[in-house]
């Protein structure tokens, strides 16, 4: 996936008419490292990919999706792609490959972030193992194995793993999808 990911990053950067140095500065990464990512010789961590996405005005999910072939039917095997790694044992693995209306990710391992997410469309967080705390609309929600949390589009939220071995599945409608307004909101 690294060469295609790099191609997608380069296409996005050029579409925005940004230099490698400008994106590297915005992402707080070195120019040589970003160049290696674009050329498929280095694979960024989750944190680095998110920094690159922020610098390009997009999301890590969209960059990952753009790097993958789109198929109308696709089986993602547990050992197909190790995903991206973060600090310690943290990992994120795409469960839907390519640029689709729906995206799904599996987060595993420690995840403790102050990063606040706000997406255009709705999403569901499902705890497959362990426990998480989700902060949304000024409240903290503790979720255990089998629990689900729905977050409407436009609601700022953050989450963190509370136990070792936590696995969280996130399923969302892509930000590029235009969804009709809910008349009940």
Does 58 share its domain with 94? no
Helix and strand counts by DSSP (H, E) for the chain: 5, 9
Q: What is the pLDDT of residues 3-38, one digit of tens each?
A: 588 888 998 899 999 999 999 999 999 999 999 999
Q: Which of 60, 67, 52 is nearest to 2 (CA)?
A: 67
181 belongs to a structural domain: no
Does 93 share its domain with 51? no
Q: Which of 113, 5, 145 is nearest to 69 (CA)?
A: 5
Does 47 share its domain with 98? no
77 belongs to a structural domain: no
Say if pTM beats, i.e. exceeds, 0.75. Answer: no
What is the domain range of residue 56?
Answer: 2-66
Place of tokens 């050992």: 79
Dihedral angle computed from the Cα positions of residues 46, 52, 53 and 54, in that order, rounded to the nearest 10 degrees: 110
Of 119-123, 140-144, 156-160, 176-180, the poorest mean pLDDT is in 176-180
Query: What is the domain count for the chain?
Result: 2
Q: Which of 90, 79, 18, 17 is nearest to 50 (CA)?
A: 90
Distance CA 136, CA 30 (A): 34
**Residue 112 C-beta-side C-alpha neighbours within 13 Å:** 7
């Amino acid at each position: 996936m690294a060469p295609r990911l790099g191609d997608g990053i380069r296409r996005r950067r050029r579409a925005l008419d940004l230099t490698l140095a400008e994106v590297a500065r915005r992402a707080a990464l070195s120019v040589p490292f970003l160049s290696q990512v674009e050329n498929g010789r280095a694979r960024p961590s989750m944190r680095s990919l998110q920094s690159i996405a922020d610098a390009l005005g997009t999301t890590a999910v969209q960059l990952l999706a753009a790097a993958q072939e789109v198929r109308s039917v696709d089986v993602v095997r547990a050992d197909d792609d190790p995903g991206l790694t973060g600090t310690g044992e943290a990992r994120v693995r795409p469960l839907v490959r390519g640029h689709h209306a729906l995206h799904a990710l599996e987060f595993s391992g420690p995840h403790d972030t102050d990063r606040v997410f706000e997406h255009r469309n709705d999403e569901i967080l499902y705890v497959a193992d362990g426990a998480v705390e989700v902060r949304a609309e000024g409240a903290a929600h503790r979720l255990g194995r089998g629990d689900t949390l729905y977050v409407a589009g436009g609601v700022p939220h953050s989450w963190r793993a509370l136990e070792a071995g936590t696995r969280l599945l996130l399923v969302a409608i892509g930000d590029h999808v235009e969804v009709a307004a809910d008349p009940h909101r």
